[in-house]
Structure 1
Amino acid sequence: MNRARLWLAGYAGAVLAISFIHEPSWLAFGLLAALLAAGAARWSLLKRAVLALLLFNASVSLAYALLAAWRAQPVWAPLLLINLRVLLLVYLGFWVVERVRLLDALRGWPLLSMVATLTLGQVVVYRRLLDDFRAAFRSRNPLPPKPTTLLRHAGVQGGALMEKALHGAEQSAQAMRSRGSFDG
């Protein structure tokens, strides 16, 4: 088994194990162990994981806290458990993405290799689109933008990404239909 496949198998095992842990102290220990094992990249990985989770986890945590307060249920222990688990999973995900070439790990499995190739191709397309949006925004805003300008730009960017995704899905469905994929 090649090194990339071992990393991917280890990651899959870790995700499975983490999903069965319901004690925050064990999750915190797992995060600390992952931080120590990551070496020099630990802080950049942690920063990326926290930034990736910030908006989503903040909104989910706030909604959960409001619901728990309304029902007069405990808030902090479940929130700590949820947020630690998600942070650990995302941290490990970023670490694996940085260390493993997915196509090397999937070598020998033609169908999975094909799906990964298509997925990585889409990642490149969307990353380029996001880079184009960032460059256009910077060129049109020489001064630091207002928060409303940032929100408006994010909305337009999200709309464009959604439109591109829907168009691509429609094209794929038409191609599959023309080849008989949906014939029952």
Structure 2
Amino acid sequence: MNRAQSWLLLYLLTVVGITFVHQAGWLAAGLGLALLAAGPARWRLLTRAVLALLLFNVSVSLAYALVAWWQARPVADVLLLMNLRVLLLVFLGFWLVDRIKLLEALAGWPLLAMIATLAIGQVAVYRRLLDDFRLAFRSRNPVSPTPVDLLRHAGAQGGALLDKSLHSADQVAQAMRSRGAFDA
């Protein structure tokens, strides 16, 4: 087992272990320990984790708080526990990706390595598409865009990403079908 595989195994065991922790204090201590262990990259990784979670966690937390209020149940402890757990898991995921080469960690499992390679390739394609949209939007808006302009741009960008996803899925399905992947 190489170093990257050891880190991946440790990460997977840690993720499973975190799901068994139901005390906010222990999760906060785990996050603090992870921040200390991450070294100089800690704040960059924490910022990425918080930004990645912001929209999702806020919407889920608000929905949960609304339902709990409607049912007259306490909400603060559950929300704290849930958000700490998710933040810790996402932080550890970003730290793992920052620390190891995923394809090296999956070297012993050819199928997983192939799937990871396909996923990494798709990430590169979509990152390029998003960069093109961002640069095009910036070049076409010499003044600060209005909120309506931002919404139109987001809609066009979302539509293009969806079209690209559907086209890619169709192409992959056709390639797999031609190679007998769907033959029973």
Letter of the 1:162 counterpart: L
Q: Distance in 1 between matches of 2:140 and 2:48?
A: 27
Where structure 2 has 5 or more consecutive residues not aligned to the other structure, the ranges are: none
Aligned pairs for 1:77-156 (under 5 A) are 77-156=77-156
Aligned pairs for 1:14-33 (under 5 A) are 14-33=14-33
Report the number of matched residues.
Answer: 184
Q: Distance in 2 between matches of 1:103 and 1:178?
A: 27
Q: Distance in 1 between matches of 2:94 and 2:45?
A: 6
**Matched residue SS, 1:142:** coil
Q: Distance in 2 between matches of 1:111 and 1:140?
A: 44
Q: Distance in 2 between matches of 1:87 and 1:58?
A: 12
The CA deviation string for residues 50-89 of structure 1, in whole angstroms up to 9 with x for no partner, is 1111111111111111111111111111111111111111
Deviates more, 1:22-31 or 1:145-154: 145-154
Letter of the 1:10 counterpart: L
Root-mean-square deviation (CA), in Å? 1.1
Aligned twin of 1:4: 4
Q: Distance in 1 between matches of 2:152 and 2:23?
A: 41
Aligned pairs for 1:163-182 (under 5 A) are 163-182=163-182
The CA deviation string for residues 24-64 of structure 1, in whole angstroms up to 9 with x for no partner, is 11111110001111111111111111111111111111111
**Matched residue SS, 1:13:** helix
Q: Distance in 2 between matches of 1:53 and 1:155?
A: 21
**Matched residue SS, 1:68:** helix
User: Alignment identity in percent?
Assistant: 70
Aligned twin of 2:13: 13
**Matched residue SS, 1:11:** helix
Letter of the 1:161 counterpart: L
**Cα distance, 1:158 vs. partner?**
1.5
TM-score, structure 2 normalization: 0.95
Q: Distance in 1 between matches of 2:24 and 2:152?
A: 38
Q: Distance in 1 between matches of 2:26 and 2:151?
A: 38
Q: Distance in 1 between matches of 2:10 and 2:136?
A: 41
Runs of 4+ that moved beyond 6 A: none
